[in-house]
Structure 1
């Protein structure tokens, strides 16, 4: 299984360093580490980690996957993030927003 998350936000772009899916206490999780490069000139790159919970949600009677978790960075920032599946084509990249 190859898992990769490349995120592009208003403030930064990030690439996957490591993504490891695991089963922990009956719950699917994704251990994810990344390197991000801020779009603001003069701000240095940083690394971060997130442990995503992976769950199935129902949206307008359609089931979708959701990744949610807390992130921590080497800049000592932290917060929460949630990604929800919007594409159901399984033989290509899966898109979340």
Structure 2
């Protein structure tokens, strides 16, 4: 059995498997990660196809890339930096969905 170190694979730096926030995988990313896990575990039928590059895309114009980066920075980077400067966490002021311990069996 081997491990999965996505940093070593070019497919991980392709933006298409990542969601808009650039932190979480989207449907394509989750499918690729599941296939990588199956391959690492040596499951029957698993191949290294998860690591193959996605089909080439036309490179977006500079203006489109800059606009997308600025939108991302405004939605995710600036709030994150603000929380760090204020020594706050994104979980501050939130309560648990189920704050009381309850049985799963009813």
Instruction: Give the TM-score, by structure 1 length.
Output: 0.25
Greater RCO, CA 8 A, separation 6+? 2
TM-score of the two chains, using structure 2 as the length reference? 0.23
Q: Which has the higher strand share?
A: 1
The structure carrying a bigger helix percent of its residues is: 2
